[in-house]
Structure 1
């Protein structure tokens, strides 16, 4: 019985090793060459974490990582990153962003950001939603933010921002602690 279980254990260990080696080779030679095979500059991935290694080791937040990658690749109009095995495209050029969000949206619907609107309703905004919901929100908001309407709103928004700034200065002069919730409710 002992010889049978030792043989089974060796076979299981061999199977795990073979799967691990196959996964490593797939990631190294196939998955992590997706962007370079298309002629797109990419960040250097760490197997099996992709571009997320600094985030997973708590050296950087996602925002810091993206800021650093943007600074590194800002000369490029676009560049590629990897979230584990999933390839993601980062667009730096405002003209390309405008083109994607208006004319080529069907090909670029997925923002690659996990969200659960049921638990975090504020994540259901026009910047994060996808597909038909995005199209519906965009159709609702587009007439609101035409160039003329935005220019007309600017003076009102500026006046409100100036009033808020003055009120914050008054609150700071009264106390070092400013309760923003109360201030914004006024």
Structure 2
């Protein structure tokens, strides 16, 4: 009698199959929804998506360097001004058209301040620069730096930079004048050059 009671309290095979089917349908719907983000917006995408890696499967498994993965995506979007791709399930937009890039980075920069850099200022003091900052913090720093790099000020700096470049070229000419290969510490040389340009 007790074994019959236990069997009757277990869920039926139909119930188990219904739960498993519902879960499978939910997963299929979820994946389809995630990977149709760009399609629903009419944005072109590269080849088929590798679920669950998106278009960056080689990057995920560290088989290909990041620059090569993004170059492949860029090449697959040839003929389009922009296109969408997926990194895992997250959608990303890649811009190919130079005029559109200029519009984003110059004219409409205030609308495009959040990028995919996830460096924390608390973890690294070097992350407090425009490329890593997002949101209001990015806007504040960009607002402070904009007057420094106006076209007039950059034009005025050009002469000073040209002088530093000429001095570097003269130094390299003298260092290699004897016709033999003169070894140079490029890191140290560029550090001095950069300091001269900034100073």
1:145 aligns with 2:180: no
Tell me the CA shift for residue 59 of structure 1: 2.3
Taking a change above 3 Å as real, the CA distance of residues 16 and 140 of structure 1, as seen in their structure-2 partners, is: farther
Tell which structure's C-alpha radius of gyration is larger: 2
**Secondary structure in 1 aligned to 2:162?**
helix
Aligned to 1:32: 35
Tell me the CA shift for residue 104 of structure 1: 6.6
Taking a change above 3 Å as real, the CA distance of residues 94 and 157 of structure 1, as seen in their structure-2 partners, is: same
Aligned to 1:103: 108
**Secondary structure in 1 aligned to 2:149?**
coil
| Total equivalences in the alignment | 178
40, 61, 65: which one pairs with 2:65? 61
1:41 aligns with 2:48: no
- What TM-score results when the alignment is normalised by the length of structure 2? 0.69
The 8 Å contact of residues 24 and 47 in structure 1, kept in 2 or not, is answered as no
The 8 Å contact of residues 81 and 96 in structure 2, kept in 1 or not, is answered as yes
The 8 Å contact of residues 118 and 132 in structure 2, kept in 1 or not, is answered as no
The 8 Å contact of residues 126 and 137 in structure 1, kept in 2 or not, is answered as yes
- Could you give the per-residue CA deviations for residues 142-183 of structure 1, whole angstroms, max 9, x where no partner exists? 1111222212222322332344455567399443x7261476
The 8 Å contact of residues 38 and 45 in structure 2, kept in 1 or not, is answered as yes
The 8 Å contact of residues 49 and 84 in structure 1, kept in 2 or not, is answered as yes
- What TM-score results when the alignment is normalised by the length of structure 1? 0.73
Equivalents in 1 of 2:110, 2:71: separation in Å?
24
Taking a change above 3 Å as real, the CA distance of residues 158 and 73 of structure 1, as seen in their structure-2 partners, is: farther
Equivalents in 1 of 2:119, 2:172: separation in Å?
33
**Secondary structure in 2 aligned to 1:90?**
strand
Aligned to 1:184: 191
| CA RMSD across the alignment | 3.6
Q: Which runs of 5+ in 1 are unaligned?
A: none
> Following superposition of structure 1 onto structure 2, how do residues 113-152 of structure 1 map, counting pairs within 5 Å?
113-152=117-156
1:76 aligns with 2:80: yes
The 8 Å contact of residues 54 and 89 in structure 2, kept in 1 or not, is answered as yes
The 8 Å contact of residues 126 and 134 in structure 1, kept in 2 or not, is answered as yes
The 8 Å contact of residues 48 and 84 in structure 1, kept in 2 or not, is answered as yes
